[in-house]
């Protein structure tokens, strides 16, 4: 079971309060060094496909490795929805990070409109087949309609999506979408749910610890 906390554009908790948790943290760039120094498994929230160049606002795999960062998220729904990232761009980011020696959590998922139009599998197939196959690749299924809304897919809905993803690519699949202490155990009980990508609840140490404990109970 893998639990990762995405702090988004929040400063986040004191990294020292998380020492001892079996979890990944994805802080904003300004907190990467603090989290690494605290001994946490630290991932960036995004990474570029070039090692250097005129790409203002981006960060490269070698820069992350120099800091001691272990991996990166790519393709988070907010990057796709708010910043226009495409399947091709997400794949390039993933390939570059993996080739450099970073681990990657690649995010996929459908919007509410796509789900209501019965397009979930088509969307997931398109997003998944663009990604490289690699032992250090993990997929996070995050239905866009459940990100930051308080809504969450039912455990059965998550299981169906995860099973479909694994039919396309045999990698661990995390669930992301309003994961909280009160729904974590039900999600983790599903056979194809291999952990969680936690958003807002990872900003609260007690909530994040409870989710990690639920994952450990399933392991």
Rounded mean pLDDT, 85-100: 98
- Please report, for residues 82, 131, 142, the alpha-carbon distance to residue 45 in angstroms, rounded to integers and kept in the order given: 14, 17, 15
pLDDT confidence of residue 3: 98
**How far apart (Å, rounded) are the C-alpha atoms in residues 6 and 39?**
17
From the list 85, 110, 142, 162, the catalytic residue is: 142
Residue range of the domain that includes 204: 2-218
| Res 141 pLDDT > 80 | yes
Rounded mean pLDDT, 191-200: 97
Number of domains in the chain: 1
From the list 76, 78, 85, 110, the catalytic residue is: 76
pLDDT confidence of residue 219: 66
pLDDT confidence of residue 99: 98
76 catalytic, yes or no? yes
Low-confidence winner among 37-46, 123-132, 152-161, 179-188 (lowest mean pLDDT): 152-161
| Res 6 pLDDT > 90 | yes
The CATH number of whichever domain residue 106 belongs to comes to 3.20.20.70
SS3 content of the chain, % helix, strand, coil (to 5): 45, 15, 40
pLDDT confidence of residue 26: 98
Span 150-185, pLDDT tens digits: 777 899 999 999 999 999 999 999 999 889 999 999
Helices (H), 68-204: 77-83, 87-100, 112-116, 120-129, 155-168, 181-188
48 catalytic, yes or no? no
Nearest in space to 91 (alpha carbons), one of 44, 128, 50, 135:
128
Nearest in space to 99 (alpha carbons), one of 75, 130, 127, 132:
132
The residues, ordered by sequence, that sit 6+ positions from 199 with a Cβ below 8 Å of its Cβ are 6, 8, 147, 148, 176, 178, 179
């Amino acid at each position: 079971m893998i639990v990762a906390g995405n702090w988004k554009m929040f400063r986040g908790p004191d990294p020292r309060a998380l020492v001892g948790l079996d979890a990944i943290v994805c802080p904003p760039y300004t907190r990467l060094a603090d989290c690494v120094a605290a001994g946490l498994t630290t991932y960036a929230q995004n990474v570029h496909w070039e090692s250097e160049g005129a790409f203002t606002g981006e960060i490269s795999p070698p820069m992350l490795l120099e800091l001691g960062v272990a991996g990166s998220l790519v393709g988070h729904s907010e990057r796709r929805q708010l910043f226009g990232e495409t399947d091709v761009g997400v794949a390039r980011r993933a390939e570059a990070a993996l080739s450099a020696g970073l681990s990657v959590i690649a995010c996929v998922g459908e919007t509410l409109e796509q789900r209501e139009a019965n397009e979930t599998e088509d969307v997931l197939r398109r997003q998944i087949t663009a990604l490289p196959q690699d032992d250090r690749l993990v997929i996070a299924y995050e239905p866009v309609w459940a990100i930051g809304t308080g809504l969450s897919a039912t455990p059965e809905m998550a299981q169906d999506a995860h099973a479909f993803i694994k039919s396309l690519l045999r990698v661990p699949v995390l669930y992301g979408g309003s994961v909280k202490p009160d729904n974590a155990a039900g999600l983790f009980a599903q056979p194809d749910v291999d952990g969680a990508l936690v958003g807002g609840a990872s900003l609260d140490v007690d909530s994040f610890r409870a989710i990690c404990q639920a994952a450990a109970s399933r392991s």
